[in-house]
């Protein structure tokens, strides 16, 4: 984990901006090719949020069939990519047992624009609450070039 400390001279408050490389992401998440859908974490606030990047490439296997002649990233994979960014936040929470976080629910997810090869998907996932250190709820948002591509609430459950 690479850490950059930024000091704002106007209020003398120090904030930490943390970046996770693909190698560090692979130490935190169990996903692997072709299902690892996060290339880098560009911002991380412990216990609060993470911002991740997915560089969408035409070489990804799902584009062969979704759709020939008009490749569009499947919505379920956009949701999964947002969830993986959320997994970075959840796996780093103090006092949370080790295990595997799985989807427990998906609410209010909407798709606003297609995601296509060449796009850079920027996903911001904020932790809303954690219950009994086993259940989490997050607000997720995915953008391309500052335009909203998808958003919704994701719920997670820790399994042994």
Q: What is the pLDDT of residues 117-130, one digit of tens each?
A: 999 999 999 999 99
Q: What is the pTM of this model?
A: 0.88
Q: What is the pLDDT of residues 59-76, one digit of tens each?
A: 999 999 999 999 999 999
Catalytic residue set: 66
**2-159 fold:** Thiol Ester Dehydrase; Chain A (3.10.129)
Q: Which three-class secondary structure string do you get for 109-154?
A: EEECCCCCCCCEEEEEEEEEEEECCCEEEEEEEEEECCEEEEEEEE
The domain ranges of the chain are 2-159
């Amino acid at each position: 984990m690479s850490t950059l400390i930024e000091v704002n001279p106007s209020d003398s408050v120090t904030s930490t901006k943390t970046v996770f490389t693909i190698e560090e992401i692979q130490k935190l998440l169990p996903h692997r090719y072709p299902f690892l859908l996060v290339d880098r974490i560009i911002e991380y606030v412990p216990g609060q949020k993470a911002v991740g990047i997915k560089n969408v490439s035409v070489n990804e296997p799902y584009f062969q069939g979704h759709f020939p002649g008009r490749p569009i990233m499947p919505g379920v994979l956009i949701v999964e990519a947002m969830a993986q960014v959320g997994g970075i936040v959840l796996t780093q929470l103090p006092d949370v047992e080790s295990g595997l976080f799985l989807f427990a629910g998906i609410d209010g997810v909407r798709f606003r624009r297609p995601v296509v090869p060449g796009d850079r998907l920027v996903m911001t996932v904020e932790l809303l609450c954690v219950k009994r250190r086993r259940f989490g709820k997050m607000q997720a948002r995915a953008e391309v070039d500052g335009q909203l591509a998808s958003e919704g609430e994701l719920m997670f459950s820790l399994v042994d």
